[in-house]
Structure 1
Amino acid sequence: MTFAVQRVFWTYYTPDNILRGRHAHRATEHVLLAVAGRIIVTVESAAGALQVFRLESPHVGLYVPPNVWHTMQYSPGAVQLALASLPFAEEDYIREYDEFKAVWGAGGGS
């Protein structure tokens, strides 16, 4: 791990037709793990590069750095464990995609 864990949280009982996440963080780093089920994580870098990851094993985590737009879709019964580098702070979140692109797009924060 590249950071000391300051926050741990779970996501569970998420219907498979719901797209979660849909935000970026200004400073917080995360490692996401699927401790049960399958989680499809889509990340978009500040430069616009898209990557899709399939988490299906509690032994494999996905590092999500700051300034990356990310979404998650869960299989029925999926449970996600998230490890974060900072405590929760609403001001760390960028919740609007247009704001993410304005702040980090075109090399704004990379």
Structure 2
Amino acid sequence: MEAVKKIELPKIEDPRGNLTFFEDCNQIPFKIERVFWTYDVPGGETRGGHAYYKQNEFIIALSGSFDVVITLPSGEQERYNLNRSYYGLYVPAKTWRHIENFSTNTLSLHASDSEFNEADYIRSFDKYLRVYEK
């Protein structure tokens, strides 16, 4: 299984305001096919709670902060706090994740290498374990 990794993005500092960017295959390890974002997440809510068979994802906190929690097949969890717009988290296919602990007015950006396909989602952790074992 490919590893989840936090990636530092270029940060161009300027007294008028900073600029950060990412380009597929330069900063992230895939070609971007889809971008979506989440916002207005009510306090205490959790997003995600799934894995993908094939899709790779790159997640950035454009504003605010949140935790991406990776659950390994062993049940052990790894927590990644995203709170700076010049860091993103690469989450490869076949990685179980959920997102929690959203601060007020959080805006998260998600880039992926696939168009939306409901059949690519693994929404049951038991099913994920069976897929992971293969």
Scaled by the length of structure 1, what TM-score is found?
Answer: 0.90
For 1:10, the equivalent position in structure 2 comes to 37
1:57-68 equivalent positions in 2, closer than 5 A: 57-68=84-95
Q: What is the CA–CA distance in structure 2 between the aligned matches of 1:63 and 1:28, rounded to whole Å?
A: 11
Q: Which has the higher contact order (CA 8 A, sep 6+)?
A: 1
Does residue 20 of the first structure (1) align with residue 41 of the second (2)? no
One-letter amino acid matched to 1:33: I
1:49-88 equivalent positions in 2, closer than 5 A: 49-73=76-100, 74-88=102-116
After TM superposition, the structure 1 stretch with the greater mean CA deviation from structure 2, 5-14 or 38-47, is 38-47
Instruction: Give the drift of 1:97.
Output: 1.3
After TM superposition, the structure 1 stretch with the greater mean CA deviation from structure 2, 94-103 or 20-29, is 94-103
Q: What is the CA–CA distance in structure 2 between the aligned matches of 1:19 and 1:45, rounded to whole Å?
A: 18
Scaled by the length of structure 2, what TM-score is found?
Answer: 0.75
Instruction: Give the drift of 1:49.
Output: 4.3
Q: What is the CA–CA distance in structure 2 between the aligned matches of 1:92 and 1:46, rounded to whole Å?
A: 19
> Contact conserved, 1:12 with 1:79, CA < 8 A, in 2?
yes
Q: What is the CA–CA distance in structure 2 between the aligned matches of 1:88 and 1:6, rounded to whole Å?
A: 9
Instruction: Give the drift of 1:81.
Output: 0.2
Question: Which structure 2 residue ranges, 5 or more long, are not aligned?
Answer: 1-27
Superposed CA RMSD in Å reads: 1.2
**Of the two, which has the highest radius of gyration?**
2
Identity across aligned pairs (percent)? 31
Q: What is the CA–CA distance in structure 1 between the aligned matches of 2:95 and 2:73, rounded to whole Å?
A: 6
Question: What is the aligned residue count?
Answer: 106
> Contact conserved, 1:34 with 1:80, CA < 8 A, in 2?
yes
Q: What is the CA–CA distance in structure 1 between the aligned matches of 2:108 and 2:70, rounded to whole Å?
A: 16
